[in-house]
Amino acid sequence: MLVYLKLILTAIFWGGTFIAGRVVAKDVGPFSAAFFRFFIASIFLILFTYKIEGRLPVLQKKQIFPVFLLGMTGVFLYNVFFFKGLKIIHAGRAAVIIAGNPILITLFSAYFFKEKLSLIKVVGIILSVSGAVIVISKGSFNEIVSGGVGWGEIFIFGCVLSWVAYSLIGKAVMDRLSPLAAVSYSSVIGTFFLFFPAFFEGAVQNFRHYYLVDWVGMFYLGFFGTVIGFVWYYEGIKKIGAMKASLFINFVPISAVVMAFFILDEPITLSLFIGTLLVCSGVYLTNKRFTPVFRATKTLRH
């Protein structure tokens, strides 16, 4: 029972990252916000790794470049796009667009790793893509055709592409490296490279002038959104399996939309509501394992 509670809280924490990111993005530059988020996360991730695994494993030569790519895609690029996008568009809208991550991961996994696509998964992909299009276009296809989609949506879609790359590379890296060690290394590498653009953005000069709410937001993003969320998610995978644990991700855009409504007074428009339902339904179908009817009938007969 405790593991399910942790997974529900993880989904809520991840939904909250869009709220915190939206708040932080108002006063803190995208590079600075991303740097401080992962500086905080890296400290705690290393501590967790030593506590859970006893040490941070030394990378072999052939692991260095893939782990470097993890840091550059999942940490550096993702978070730059994340904060740039949230400076422009609503948190709920961003959350629904990013909810398409599992769909693209499924498609690319089928292409690169030859994973089979069932009819149910294809239906799920169509539903999620349709939902994302409805959200991005605000319910009007003419918005896309006429170029009405702004930089905010483009930046958030950059998050999606960055996370897809991070996930596919991570799938290969984690054959010989634990998920906790892999994310710790990627966090440290991403933090290191984020420092330089953050420095030129004025992070060193401006950090004393950030408001308390900005620091609270960055701590939330680093500790709850990154460290706690990651550890609890992988605890769930270990105890109930990846298939069941991943289903809880479906609650992320829902929690983000609800919190954005109550905390940021962001409106829940009809297009956002319908798009959210379609995206969540699609993600659920692509992650759900269905037992064929004829097989279930045969089992019942015996």
- Summarize pLDDT for 219-245 with one digit per residue, the tens: 999 999 989 887 787 677 667 765 566
Average pLDDT on 169-194 reads 85
H/E stretch holding 26 reads: helix 2-27
Report CA dihedral (221, 28, 43, 185) to the nearest 10 degrees.
90
Label residue 247 by pLDDT band (50, 70, 90): low
With tokens 């653009």, the residue in question is 197
* 112 within a domain of the structure (yes/no): no
Average pLDDT on 70-97 reads 84
Instruction: Indicate whether 113 pLDDT > 70.
Output: no
pTM given for the model: 0.75
Query: 130 and 104 in contact (C-beta within 8 Å)?
Result: no
* 133 within a domain of the structure (yes/no): no
* 143 within a domain of the structure (yes/no): no
* 209 within a domain of the structure (yes/no): yes
* 260 within a domain of the structure (yes/no): yes
- Summarize pLDDT for 124-165 with one digit per residue, the tens: 777 777 776 677 666 665 654 454 567 888 898 898 888 888
Instruction: Indicate whether 34 pLDDT > 60.
Output: yes
Query: How long, in residues, is the chain?
Result: 302
pLDDT value for 294: 39
Nearest in space to 19 (alpha carbons), one of 74, 80, 94: 94
Question: Of 51-65, 156-170, 221-235, 245-259, which gets the smallest average pLDDT?
Answer: 245-259
Range of the structural domain that residue 165 is part of: 2-105+151-265
Total tally of structural domains belonging to the chain: 1
| Cβ neighbours for 110, distance < 8 A, ≥ 6 positions apart | 116, 117
- Summarize pLDDT for 8-17 with one digit per residue, the tens: 898 889 889 9
- CA atoms of 163 and 121, how far apart (whole Å): 20
* 96 within a domain of the structure (yes/no): yes
* 247 within a domain of the structure (yes/no): yes
* 30 within a domain of the structure (yes/no): yes
